[in-house]
Amino acid sequence: MSAAPIFKDLVLVGGGHSHALVLRQWAMNPLPGVRITLISPQTMTPYSGMLPGLIAGHYSFEQTHIDLVKLALWANIRFIQDKVTAIDAETKTLTLENRPDIEFDVVSIDIGSTPNQQIEGTNEYSTPVKPISDFYARWNLIQEQVKQHKIKSLAVVGGGAGSVEVIMAFACKLQKINASLQYHLITGAEDILPGYNHQVITQVKRQLKKYNITVHNSTRVTKLSKGLVHCQKGDPILSDEIIWCTQASGASWLKKGQLACDDAGFMNVRQTLQSLEYDCVFGAGDTVNMVASPRPKAGVYAVRQAPVLFHNLQAVLLNQKLINYKPQDGFLSLLALGEKKAAGSKSLVSFSGDWVWRWKDSIDRKFMDKFHQLPTLAMNFDATINPQLIDAQEKTEQHDPLKRCGGCGAKIGVNVLQQVLNDLLGEGHYQPQDAVQITNNPEIVYQSVDALKTPIQDPWLFGQIAVSHALSDLYAMNLKPESAQVLITLPYASQEIQKRQLKMLMQGVFMQLDTLQCRFLGGHTSEASELSVGLVVNGIQQKAPLFHKQGLMPGDKLVLSKPLGTGVILAAAMKALCDGEVFNQAIDSMLQANDQAAKLLSELNVQTCTDVTGFGLLGHLYELCQASGCAATLDLKVIPVLAGAEALAVKGVKSSLYNQNRQALNVIEWEDEMMHNPRFKLLFDPQTSGGLLAGIPAACYAKLDESFHQQFYTIGEVTEFNSAVSQVVLV
């Protein structure tokens, strides 16, 4: 986390080529005082230039995709996996599909395009080639169906470069599975590849003929039905699988906003890449239409727009002069020909062959290496804020973190609190009191307190995780959560940024409290260099007996409700050593509350239980054994771990609390074989919002059905304790 105060929010919508390059450049040349948020429905964004090679089997999925989560972790920015559905440029607000709105000061949109599917039947009976993430999933299914001889013919509608590359990649891959498969390339134009020179068209036609691909020129599609492509002239073309790769169109939500778009739905932009109406709205790549100098949709333009976009985003934030993007009139075009051959042209010159493929492959790999081999970022000790980022009404305030007040002078302002709480809970909700009644129930109230410094950039998710983590202490005692108060520390920032941060955080807190039927009572705020959340949670006893830390008996089976590994994964994320998929599954685990696990244990009349958090599995198990006067045997190979955690442990990645957890159990002697097992390290891994650990009597355990074993992992057994053996034994 940066200690520099935040004054402006820059939001990037979409993980296109321009945005990926801007993020890389921004990470190496940051602008202190600006927070960047990247929003994308996919965590892995494809490089379109390598799509034909991916289809043909020349590249793996990982080689052709940029891991946006890993990129965001490396660049120290906030990543939100969601889809934008609307923009209000007047209020500077983005509407998302699955979470609360996001506010911005400056926004850039680079979401690509999708084939125009206005023709009847295209939505029901065809697969568009974009977005590539959806198309690739369908491509994997097509291969399976071809193997099972369920597909006898395949058609690609469209005659541009993307269409011919895709159908040749299909043929290159599928002819090895089923040589009798029929292929159709259908275009309404008089010939394929309009705009390309004659030599390239001739070379591509030669390759199409080699693959026995039938080309239907001047064939305008009027509608699709199941297994049929209906055309303006002639009989329908039979095809079991139809791929739609025609002229592209823009996102519908752009048209519906206040932004001017062309007839195809692409946002009109100036040469500065700003929208025509709003200086704070930018666009790049296939998303935009350059009004002054229209160009076809091609990745080369997106790549060359990136330096201009980077400069202008910083310039508009600093009220400095913007520069114009001047697209070139012509560019090098390289077309993949299915097998490892390619054809290319620039102006009137054309070429083809194996060497052209190697040339294209080198260019593509060089681009992707920018994101697969991320450089180590230098520590930025200069956090000086440019005064242009600070609004006029705040220029008189003290913004140096080292000179901000402590004590009650570090509280968040009343205006920020009042606006956020009234926005979220209704007008008039903000009624400050010195103390509150925590429960209306006559039952005994149990109280616990917990606090977390945020391990992630997303306050909405962090709010949910903090609630799940704090309430876990109540579930570990079989208590019903009744109410909660929060203690929030916000990073230094302008009032507007603090309001946005607090609002997003509290939306997550309220959402999780509401889901778990726990009342919000109020709390306290302060500011510091990093975001943290503490909760005082109150619970009441239910009809079932409480869980305790003592009470384990020899023969009890030890069960665990969640895999281990969140600590090592979060530590790896801080060092940009963690893949996005691994990071996201850790987030999912931390978001999972322990309410259902506690309910199931309560139904079994379990006596002994705890939650696995900061002290790690062994630390918390040792507590149970000490309290119960018994020992335990754990089966190391069956202890569940999150995917990727073991590999990170092998690399030597560990949480900062690991050594203390390890030293706390130095009283136990471990066999050398066990200590060299990478899973051994994960037994000391501190867990954020970890699972429940419980002992189940053997007689009760023998009667458990499959539904229990789907929710709990059996990891060991309770044994008699004597001084001759260790209190925890690993096998």
Structure confidence by residue, pLDDT tens digits, 605-631: 899 999 999 999 999 999 999 999 999
Residue 405: which pLDDT band, with cuts at 50, 70 and 90? very low
pLDDT tens-digit map of 242-268: 999 987 788 889 988 789 999 888 999
DSSP for 177-232, written as a single string: T-TT-EEEEE-SSSSSSTTS-HHHHHHHHHHHHHTTEEEETT--EEEEETTEEEES
* Residue 223 neighbours by CB under 8 Å, 6+ apart: 119, 120, 121, 230
Q: Count how many Cα atoms sit within 13 Å of the Cα of residue 637 in the half-sphere of its side chain.
A: 2
pLDDT at 400: 58
pLDDT at 416: 64
pLDDT at 380: 61
3-state helix, strand, coil in the chain (%, to 5): 35, 25, 40
CA pair distance 537, 509, nearest whole angstrom = 13
Residue 510: which pLDDT band, with cuts at 50, 70 and 90? very high
480 backbone dihedrals φ, ψ, rounded to 5°: -95, 120
Q: Output the six-digit token pair for 507.
A: 């939306």
Q: Output the six-digit token pair for 635.
A: 């089966």
CA pair distance 315, 281, nearest whole angstrom = 13
CA pair distance 697, 554, nearest whole angstrom = 9
Summarize the confidence of residues 639-660 as an average pLDDT: 94
Summarize the confidence of residues 381-389 as an average pLDDT: 75
CA pair distance 273, 108, nearest whole angstrom = 9
Summarize the confidence of residues 122-141 as an average pLDDT: 90
Give Cα 616 to chain centroid, integer Å.
26
Give Cα 486 to chain centroid, integer Å.
27
How much is the mean pLDDT over the chain?
A: 90
Architecture of the domain defined by 557-730: Alpha-Beta Complex (3.90)
CA pair distance 90, 107, nearest whole angstrom = 12
For residue 676, pLDDT beyond 70: yes
For residue 388, pLDDT beyond 80: yes
For residue 501, pLDDT beyond 90: yes
First to last CA, the chain: 41
> What is the spatial order of strands in the sheet that 349-353 belongs to?
333-337, 339-346, 349-353
CA pair distance 682, 655, nearest whole angstrom = 10
Architecture of the domain defined by 122-249: 3-Layer(bba) Sandwich (3.50)
The domain limits of the chain are: 8-41+82-112+250-328, 122-249, 406-541, 557-730
Q: Do the domains 122-249 and 8-41+82-112+250-328 match in fold?
A: yes
Residue 403: which pLDDT band, with cuts at 50, 70 and 90? very low
For residue 121, pLDDT beyond 60: yes
For residue 356, pLDDT beyond 80: yes
Strands 692-696 and 608-611: antiparallel
pLDDT at 119: 92
pLDDT at 264: 87
Which CATH class, in words, describes the domain spanning 8-41+82-112+250-328?
A: alpha beta
For residue 29, pLDDT beyond 90: yes
Summarize the confidence of residues 363-373 as an average pLDDT: 95
CA pair distance 202, 184, nearest whole angstrom = 18
pLDDT at 83: 96
CA pair distance 404, 397, nearest whole angstrom = 10
pLDDT at 1: 41
How many other C-beta atoms can be found within 10 angstroms of the C-beta atom of residue 114? 19
pLDDT at 401: 53
89 backbone dihedrals φ, ψ, rounded to 5°: -70, -25
Q: Report yes or no: 620 and 728 within 8 Å, Cβ to Cβ.
A: no
pLDDT tens-digit map of 514-563: 999 999 999 999 988 889 999 999 999 888 899 999 999 999 999 999 99
For residue 421, pLDDT beyond 90: no
pLDDT tens-digit map of 270-289: 999 999 999 999 999 989 99
CA pair distance 110, 299, nearest whole angstrom = 12
Helix (H, G, I), strand (E, B) or coil at 164: helix
pLDDT tens-digit map of 49-67: 999 999 999 999 999 999 9
pLDDT tens-digit map of 682-702: 999 999 999 999 999 999 999
Helix axes 354-372, 17-28, angle to 10 degrees: 50
Share of the chain above pLDDT 70, in %: 93
Residue 699 CB-density burial (10 A; 0-12 exposed, 13-18 middle, 19+ buried): exposed
pTM summary value: 0.88
pLDDT at 295: 80
Q: Does domain 406-541 have CATH number 3.30.1330.10?
A: yes
Q: Which range among 229-243, 331-345, 382-396 shows the weakest confidence by mean pLDDT?
A: 382-396
Place of tokens 């000490």: 626
